[in-house]
């Protein structure tokens, strides 16, 4: 398992982690479920924060700026993950 199966699945696991990270950043379902037992608006992620600022508060430019914060974070994560996959692809 540790020496054959997992090393062969590393690329698949890395791509799955990258896609999961992207979907998590854009997921709107996490916050309402986390806030059920807390005060409203106590939990925020970038997607809901950008929506509340941009759409609900009628400040579209500020909401766009908040959503643009997600781009470099996801881009840096994608670069590291894809670089690792590419490096492993050239090893074998």
pLDDT one digit per residue (tens) for the chain, 92 residues:
888 888 889 889 999 999 998 888 877 776 666 556 666 666 677 888 888 899 989 999 999 998 898 889 899 999 999 998 888 877 75
62: Cβ–Cβ under 8 A, 6 or more apart, which residues? 53, 54
Per the confidence metrics, is the pTM higher than 0.75?
no
Measured in whole angstroms, the distance separating CA 29 from the mean position of its chain's CA atoms is: 14
The pLDDT of residue 22: 87
């Amino acid at each position: 398992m540790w020496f054959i199966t997992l090393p062969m699945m590393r690329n698949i696991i890395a791509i799955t982690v990258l896609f999961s990270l992207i979907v998590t950043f854009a997921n709107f379902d996490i916050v309402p479920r986390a806030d059920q037992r807390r005060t409203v608006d106590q939990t925020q992620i970038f997607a809901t924060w950008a929506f509340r600022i941009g759409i609900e508060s009628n400040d579209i430019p500020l909401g766009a700026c908040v959503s643009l914060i997600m781009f470099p974070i996801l881009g840096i994560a994608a670069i590291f993950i894809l670089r690792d996959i590419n490096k492993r692809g050239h090893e074998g």
